[in-house]
A and B are shown apart, each in its own frame.
Chain A
């Protein structure tokens, strides 16, 4: 069901920077600059934090940054804070009017 590959979990100490990867298979991430990232806290709806690979919606902390290389997208959380503990999902356009999601990565702040 989840087409994009994400690590199940990532952890880091407060203040550290952590990367979360999102691996695709052509023609999704590698073909289109239409990768988004969502943050989901328990019991809450997901929140858009990155769109079009590296753009932040208004009000989203600049500690969140996105990038892409080949068929892999990455979300980096800098200056990790306790409030960043959540599940992070990537999504990408896959062509042919189809959107794909990853299975999610649980971020733990140590």
Chain B
């Protein structure tokens, strides 16, 4: 059974870079033709797809965030990560790492709350 767990700072200053890591257990991030993705949920709001990375390393991002988003694989540690630059209060949200396909998400981490402070 595949399990995901997010980790990273819970507080980030405005204009700096948000960095989160998702640790994957139960399978390799490079096996099975997986897509690994990041989704966020702002307080009392809906969900927003941030972007995805294919097991080959090819990345995709929401056009609304594309200029600020970097998603990468760390195969040696069986992890994938998210970097979101130039953050503002609007980026305060619960960030989830998910898998295993591009179109539907059956695996979810428990979520990492990131607050952007001024």
Contacts and interface: CB of A to CB of B under 8 A. Distances in A.
Interface of A: 1-2, 34, 36, 38, 45-48, 51-52, 57, 89, 91, 93, 97-104
A5 B37 CA distance: 23
B80 interface: no
Contact of A2 (B46, B105, B106): B46
Interface of B: 37, 39, 42, 45-49, 52, 60, 62-63, 96, 102-106, 108-111
Contact of B45 (A46, A52, A103): A103
A89 B103 contact: no
Contacts of B104: 34, 36, 48, 51-52, 91
B109 A89 contact: no
Nearest to A34: B103
B49 A100 contact: yes
A25 to B, nearest CB: 16
Nearest to A93: B103
B101 to A, nearest CB: 8
A102 B46 contact: yes
A101 B46 contact: yes
B48 A101 contact: yes
B47 A45 contact: no
B100 to A, nearest CB: 10
Contact of B96 (A45, A91, A102): A45
23 contacts: A1-B42, A1-B46, A36-B105, A38-B47, A45-B109, A46-B47, A46-B96, A48-B106, A51-B104, A51-B106, A52-B104, A57-B106, A89-B47, A91-B49, A93-B103, A97-B102, A98-B62, A99-B49, A99-B103, A100-B49, A101-B48, A102-B46, A103-B46
